[in-house]
């Protein structure tokens, strides 16, 4: 009786199937990535010179490997960070008899007067704290062991402090918050959408309370 030969496997077909499976895997698989914190960085100033910064104008925030928060070398609870940052930004320790920024009608823009005063600040005017919002710098440093969740929470509190002083200024000057102005600026259905007058209001608040936030490695 003659032996029946075993059917041969088509190696070419197997390779095609493997290739198709690989393509299917690449197309259908979702690669997860950590989303970072979106922030618009300030433009680089031309001819920027080295400036001596007084220690009182730096608000130091440290996060250690145990997720403990140290503000100005003292332990602080996270829920107290926002108010502490607000007090620093709005302190106005340079006095209220002058102002560091004025509107120039000739250039149609805001300009720095070179003075330290802040006649619109609402803080305690502590001479040991920041002179004015332009000089007030918030510095954040964290250790490698700091958890990502705590790091994000601290950043949120700092950004909330900037939002507070800007919203407060907007209400006093124009009867609406800075956040509402930004919404109107981007809302195509708003009568103030991309208007020159609204831009001037937003620019004034940003100038009077600039966001000077530094992350130290």
Q: How does DSSP assign 144-211, residue by residue?
A: TTS-HHHHHHHHHHHHHHHHHHHHHHHHHHHSS-HHHHHHHHH-TTSTTTT-HHHHHHHHHHHHHS--
CA 215 to CA 217: how far, in whole Å? 7
Domain residue limits, the chain: 55-216
Q: Could you tell me if 177 and 170 are in contact, meaning their C-beta atoms sit under 8 angstroms apart? A: yes
69-71 vs 58-63, strand pairing mode: antiparallel
CA 47 to CA 155: how far, in whole Å? 30
Q: Could you tell me if 185 and 202 are in contact, meaning their C-beta atoms sit under 8 angstroms apart? A: yes
pTM of the model: 0.78
CA 112 to CA 116: how far, in whole Å? 10
Q: Which helix (H) or strand (E) holds 101?
A: strand 101-104
Q: How many residues does the chain have?
A: 217
pLDDT number for residue 11? 54
Q: What is the DSSP letter of 15?
A: H
Coil, strand or helix at 70: strand
pLDDT tens, the chain, 217 aa long: 555 555 555 555 666 677 677 676 666 655 444 444 555 545 545 555 556 889 999 999 999 999 999 999 999 999 999 999 999 999 999 999 999 999 998 998 999 999 999 999 999 999 999 999 999 999 999 999 999 999 999 999 999 999 999 999 999 999 999 999 999 999 999 999 999 999 999 999 999 999 999 998 6
């Amino acid at each position: 009786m003659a032996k029946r030969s075993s059917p041969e496997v088509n190696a070419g077909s197997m390779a095609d199937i493997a290739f198709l499976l690989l393509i299917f895997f690449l197309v259908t698989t979702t690669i997860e990535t950590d989303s970072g914190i979106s922030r618009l960085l300030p433009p680089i100033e031309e001819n920027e010179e080295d400036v001596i910064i007084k220690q009182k104008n730096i608000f130091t925030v440290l996060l250690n490997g145990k997720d403990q928060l140290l503000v100005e070398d003292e332990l602080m609870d996270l829920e107290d960070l926002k108010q502490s940052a607000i007090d620093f930004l709005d302190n106005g320790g340079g006095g209220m008899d002058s102002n560091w920024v004025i509107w120039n009608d000739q250039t149609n823009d805001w300009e720095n007067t070179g003075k330290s005063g802040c006649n619109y600040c609402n803080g305690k005017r502590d001479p040991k704290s920041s002179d004015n919002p332009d000089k007030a710098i918030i510095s954040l440093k964290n250790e490698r062991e700091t958890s990502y969740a705590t790091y994000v929470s601290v950043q949120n509190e700092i950004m909330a402090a900037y939002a507070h002083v800007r919203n407060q200024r907007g209400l006093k000057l124009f009867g609406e918050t800075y956040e509402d102005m930004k919404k109107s600026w981007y809302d195509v259905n708003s009568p103030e959408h991309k208007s020159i007058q609204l831009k001037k209001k937003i620019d004034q608040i940003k100038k009077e309370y600039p966001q000077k936030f530094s992350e130290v490695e």
